[in-house]
């Protein structure tokens, strides 16, 4: 795999998952990669375990695609399964914002925190949040945003 910046590596994760290029994905991470999901209290350690989780997912590995949208070079969009909305960061730490669609029809937002050690990904922490209704008591002070997929440029 050609030499890439950390930004390009984070961006490549989406493409490699879409293409089912798990060997390519393995080249981006350290052998002792740590993947954490604090909400479910799970920690995956090592390439073999990470790959087993990806390949063993009910309905198959996550799917995604990417295309650039308006905004800075850090703004991206993709679909379905993982929709990469944005990449931001520098140095050894990057953050992605995603729209996540599950095979059972549930959906929500995701944040991924990437940490690098040298020229490879050393740790990824995933956070997932389902949409919830706005509290009625705040209605007179807030403006409602469109639902995901219904956004309009302002």
Q: Residue 1 above 80 pLDDT?
A: no
pLDDT in tens, 67-126: 443 344 444 333 337 788 899 999 999 999 988 887 778 889 999 999 999 999 999 999
Residue 78 lies in a domain: yes
The number of residues making up the chain comes to 154
23 in a structural domain: yes
Domain harbouring 41, CATH code: 3.10.450.50
Q: Beta partners for 117?
A: 120
Q: For residues 36 and 42, is the Cβ–Cβ distance under 8 A? A: yes
138 assigned to some structural domain: no
Tokens of 74: 């850090």
Q: Report whether the peptide linkage leading into residue 80 is cis, meaning its omega lies within 30 degrees of zero.
A: yes
Is residue 42 included in any domain, yes or no?
A: yes
> How far is 114 from 116, CA to CA, in rounded Å?
7
The string of pLDDT tens digits covering residues 51-82 is: 998 888 776 655 554 444 334 444 433 333 77
- The tally of domains found in the chain comes to 1
Q: What is the distance between the alpha carbons of residues 142 and 38, in angstroms, rounded to a whole number?
A: 30
Asked if residue 147 belongs to a domain, the reply is: no
Cβ pair 51, 26 in contact under 8 A: yes
Q: Which two tokens stand for residue 44?
A: 């995956």
Burial class from Cβ neighbours inside 10 Å (0-12, 13-18, 19+) for residue 31 reads exposed
Q: Which domain holds residue 84?
A: 6-131
């Amino acid at each position: 795999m050609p030499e890439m910046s950390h930004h390009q590596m984070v961006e490549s994760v989406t493409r490699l998952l879409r293409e089912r290029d798990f060997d390519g994905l393995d080249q981006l991470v350290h052998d002792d990669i740590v993947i954490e999901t604090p909400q479910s209290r799970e920690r995956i350690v090592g390439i073999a375990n990470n790959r087993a989780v990806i390949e063993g997912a009910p309905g198959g590995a996550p799917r995604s695609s990417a295309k650039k949208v308006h905004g800075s070079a850090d703004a991206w969009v993709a679909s379905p399964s993982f929709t990469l909305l944005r990449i931001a960061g520098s140095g050894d730490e990057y953050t992605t914002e995603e729209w996540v669609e599950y095979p059972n029809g549930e959906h929500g937002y995701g944040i991924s925190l990437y940490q690098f050690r040298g020229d490879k990904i050393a740790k990824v922490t995933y956070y997932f949040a389902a949409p919830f209704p706005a509290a009625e008591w705040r209605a007179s002070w807030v403006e409602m945003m469109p639902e995901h997929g219904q956004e309009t440029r302002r």
